[in-house]
Amino acid sequence: MTNLRRYALAVALTTGTAVPALADGEVNIYSYRQPDLIKPLLDRFTEETGIATNVLFLDKGLVERIQAEGENSPADIILTVDISRLTEAKDGGVTQPIKSAVVDSDIPAQYRDPDGGWVGLTTRGRVVYASKDRVSQDTITYEELADPKWKGKICTRDGQHSYNIGLIASMIAEHGEAETETWLTGLKNNLARKPDGGDRDQAKAIFAGECDLALGNTYYVGLMQTNEKEPEQKDWANAIKVLFPNTDDRGTHVNISGVAMAKYAPNKENAQKLVDFLASGEAQEIYAEQVFEYPVMPGKEPADVVKAFGTIKPATLPLADIAANRKKASELVDKVGYNEGPEM
């Protein structure tokens, strides 16, 4: 990157004053994913192509940022987690269709937007964390979480969190709104406490004996098991086993990390090369290894840590169908008073 471009981009990404690209040979990435999680992937891309990568990390407001920058936005690529944030970007008018023979060949249709607005890269299961000491069964269904036998024994994070909204939306797609409302009410009544914390906090609560079951994403288990900075998280992970719901029927609900191309990408050709790289088998394995998720490309293996959880059978419901029910899911969370916790 030239000194002029480095200065211009620094101004753009720190002050919000966007400028057009001043040089070839780079791609600008706006990311909801932590930079250290995607660095190995982007380093390999640069090694293979010579194209430099510039990353702006945001924990919120990414779509609003690009909207404000307008046609002068330096954003080429959007990297994010969760189908809701991908559809938010598309619906917010900040993406353009991805047209790629590599994507069409390597990424199954259920993990792609029908209009090309986004492409899934990895999946994570929304699974059940179960106490190794207090839960004897090794199989479960999402429907069973509403069974009164679990009254006072389940912990979850906020019902409005995108991870839980995705699961509830999938239940609506499978069972309809009325039946899902009944199920969600039953789950609420089985909670040990008001929804609180993140997925790792649910494992911590199981470790502390506050509950026996919790909803959580698979990758958090890998992150806890390998956390050297906070070794107490290894104890939380060791206290739980991963149960993959509905393995005997439709399969486990999965969500995705994914990529979209920014509407006014100033380095569109390089952005397309990055999309093709991310969809390739090599990148799929690097990405999945780094973030403890599952590659979406058929035949590619997850990390050994993830394999140790057991075998996942992903539900085949298209993510676009789940996304279409997210508003109803959010309304149901409020309607049943899920975040108020169990009735005493």
For the record, the structure tokens of 215 come out as 């909803």
The secondary structure of residue 255, as a DSSP letter, is E
Residue 219 annotated as binding site? yes
Q: Is 32 annotated as a binding residue?
A: no
- Residues 213 and 195: their CA atoms lie apart, in Å, by 13
The DSSP annotation for 273-338 comes to: HHHHHHHSHHHHHHHHHHHT-EESSTT----HHHHTT----B--S-HHHHHTTHHHHHHHHHHTTG
Other Cβ atoms within 10 Å of 340 Cβ, number:
13
Phi, psi of 197, deg, nearest 5:
75, -175
Alpha-carbon dihedral of residues 107, 111, 114, 118, nearest 10 degrees?
-90
Quickly list DSSP for 102-123. Answer: HHHHHS-GGGB-TTSS-EEEEE
User: What is the separation of C-alpha 336 from the centre of its chain, rounded to a whole number of angstroms?
Assistant: 25
Q: Which residues are annotated as a binding site for Fe cation?
A: 219-220
Q: Which residues are annotated as a binding site?
A: 219-220
